[in-house]
Chain A
Amino acid sequence: DTGVSQNPRHKITKRGQNVTFRCDPISEHNRLYWYRQTLGQGPEFLTYFQNEAQLEKSRLLSDRFSAERPKGSFSTLEIQRTEQGDSAMYLCASSLTTRTSGRTDTQYFGPGTRLTVL
């Protein structure tokens, strides 16, 4: 399977604990995005990497959240001191930059990590 993979698929934690999620993008994809999806809502953008550089962060990404993409391959998203409001599906997507006029990068999504904070 050469799609985007995410681990773990499910995580249950107690409030105040730290959690870390991993995303493995499609190989050779240079762009990687993190989104958060709560029940009954569409995904919301959190942050974006081009290769190893984190180029954009949403205001949704509080200082308890940190994301990395060392060496421009896999990415991790860490949430410190989790709160019940962090319960959501965390989605990762990757894309390959295209310079073709009139086209945008197609973002391929992983299956998501479902976080439940008790």
Chain B
Amino acid sequence: QKEVEQDPGPLSVPEGAIVSLNCTYSNSAFQYFMWYRQYSRKGPELLMYTYSSGNKEDGRFTAQVDKSSKYISLFIRDSQPSDSATYLCAMSARSQGGSEKLVFGKGMKLTVNP
């Protein structure tokens, strides 16, 4: 079993739809949860960052973390064609003086159709 599981899709939605992306994880040491967006042939770009359980909202994006269920979600409201990209969940554990390497899901390819 991989440490982070993410449905790779692909997912195709009409413009204006609400999109829900999810990841599950198995490592209880993960404390930091991130969502990155990656356009084709580009590096990942940080979208949202959350620490511990709870919700965080930023514009049309909402990130949710449920540590008891080891489950995180990203919601995109009023999706736009420019949101078409691959969305990667990523997690890390706090390390005293060591690396905080990211463990990524496979990525979900999202297409928003005009």
- Chain A residues packing against B (C-beta within 8 Å): 4, 31, 33, 35, 40-45, 48, 50, 55-56, 91, 93, 95, 102-112, 114
Of all chain A residues, the one with the shortest Cβ separation from B103 is: A45
Contact of B99 among A56, A106, A114 (CB under 8 A): A56
Which chain B residues in 52-109 approach chain A with CB under 8 Å? 52, 88, 90, 92, 94, 97-107
Of all chain A residues, the one with the shortest Cβ separation from B94 is: A104
Instruction: Output the residue of B43, B92, B100, B106 with the most chain A CB within 10 A.
Output: B43
Contact B104 A42 (CB under 8 A): yes
B111 part of interface (Cβ distance < 8 Å): no
Rounded to whole Å, the gap between the CB of A109 and the closest CB of chain B is 4
Contact A40 B102 (CB under 8 A): no
Contact B100 A40 (CB under 8 A): no
Of all chain B residues, the one with the shortest Cβ separation from A91 is: B43
- Across-interface contacts of A31 in B (CB, < 8 A): 99
Contact A109 B44 (CB under 8 A): yes
Contact of B46 among A4, A45, A106 (CB under 8 A): A106
- Across-interface contacts of A95 in B (CB, < 8 A): 100
Contact A114 B46 (CB under 8 A): no
Contact A44 B104 (CB under 8 A): yes
Contact B88 A104 (CB under 8 A): no
- Across-interface contacts of A104 in B (CB, < 8 A): 31-32, 49, 51, 92, 94, 100
Which chain B residues in 27-55 approach chain A with CB under 8 Å? 31-32, 36, 41-46, 49, 51-52
Contact A114 B41 (CB under 8 A): yes
Report the separation of the CA atoms of residues A107 and B35 in the bound assembly, to the nearest whole angstrom. 12
Rounded to whole Å, the gap between the CB of B29 and the closest CB of chain A is 13
Report the separation of the CA atoms of residues A102 and B33 in the bound assembly, to the nearest whole angstrom. 12
- Across-interface contacts of B49 in A (CB, < 8 A): 104, 106
B24 part of interface (Cβ distance < 8 Å): no
Report the separation of the CA atoms of residues A48 and B32 in the bound assembly, to the nearest whole angstrom. 18
Rounded to whole Å, the gap between the CB of A117 and the closest CB of chain B is 18
- Across-interface contacts of B104 in A (CB, < 8 A): 42-44
Of all chain B residues, the one with the shortest Cβ separation from A49 is: B99
Contact A42 B99, CB 8 Å, known A102-B51, A104-B94, A112-B42: no
